[in-house]
Amino acid sequence: MSEEFVAKYYDEIAENEVKRLFKDKYHLLEYIVTMHYINKYFPKSGKILDCGCGPGHYAIALARRGYRVALVDISVRLLEVAKRRFEEEKLEDRIIAIMKTSSTNLSMFPDNYFDAALCSGPLYHLVELSDKIKTVRELWRVLKPLAVIIITAISYFGTLGTVLAKYPEDLVDERFQEALKKGIWRPSKLGIRGTFPDAYFWRPLELKEFLEANGFETLEMAACEGVFTHLRKEVNEVAKDRKKWHRIIELALLTCNDPTIIGNSEHFLWIGRTKK
């Protein structure tokens, strides 16, 4: 991974990241599903690590509930935005730390420190296996025994649907074949600018096996968009009716953990805990 390449990308789009999950009802499904599993599995109180915190959406939601939170990201601008939002909500006293660091190095935190963790961004952008291993071992180290962690991944299978729907010319462009066939996207090496930075697109069972081989046990997996993946226009149109929108949410939560749809979603969650 070119860390500088990824950090620069998020520095440039930081303000847009504040709006991404809330810009329409389709994108809101990802937030709703993630909060559902936070509510289901996180302890009632404690110290939470938000690794790859972005603009702080989940950290702020947790701080409002009384959790103490540590925010980690490689983007200085995203951390500045998150800090500003905490200040606006007068939640600064809930912050343990705001740190610019790679997920591969959490040495500023002691062993067995956190009661739970989120890892929303780092495993999107770690292409090299060695970096993936460093990250999950660091997460394992700073978490208490049997602490819950929720990891968000971009789905390899869901990405193929996104390419077909939005970028069909990429299907036959030689520069994109490694991404299409292996889930490895390296624009930093291809000299492509102004696009999503270096990334790894996971198959759900691949991520499950990887985490279980590195000290974690799986509790559940879920599709962030539920059964409505790629139906952006349709969800946004139907959701104008409040009753129908609530039914969409109900069905998304009902279907999101069905193993037959997890891989087809744009994003999926792996929920597990440390195995010590």
Q: Is residue 233 within 8 Å of 187, Cβ to Cβ?
A: no
Q: What is the pLDDT of residues 194-219, one digit of tens each?
A: 788 999 999 999 999 999 999 999 99
The CATH fold of domain 3-274: Rossmann fold (3.40.50)
- How far apart (Å, rounded) are the C-alpha atoms in residues 96 and 268? 28
Give residue limits of the domains in the chain: 3-274
Percent of the chain clearing pLDDT 70 (strictly above): 99
Q: What is the pLDDT of residues 234-261, one digit of tens each?
A: 999 999 999 999 999 999 999 999 999 9
Q: Is residue 196 within 8 Å of 187, Cβ to Cβ?
A: yes
Q: Nearest 5°: phi and psi at 122?
A: -55, -45
Q: What is the pLDDT of residues 108-157, one digit of tens each?
A: 999 999 999 999 989 999 999 999 999 999 999 999 999 999 999 999 99
How many C-alpha atoms does 133 have within 13 Å on its Cβ side? 4
- How far apart (Å, rounded) are the C-alpha atoms in residues 142 and 255? 32
Q: What is the pLDDT of residues 16-75, one digit of tens each?
A: 999 999 999 999 999 999 999 999 999 999 999 999 999 999 999 999 999 999 999 999
* C-alpha torsion sign, points 22, 135, 111, 146: positive
pLDDT grade for 5, boundaries at 50, 70 and 90: confident
Q: Give the closest residue to 95 by CA, choosing from 143, 51, 47.
A: 47
Phi-psi domain of 86 (left: phi exceeds 0; alpha: psi -120 through 50; beta: other): alpha
Residue 166 has pLDDT above 90, yes or no: no
- How far apart (Å, rounded) are the C-alpha atoms in residues 272 and 268? 13
* CB-based contacts of 16, cutoff 8 Å, min separation 6: none
Residue 221 has pLDDT above 90, yes or no: yes
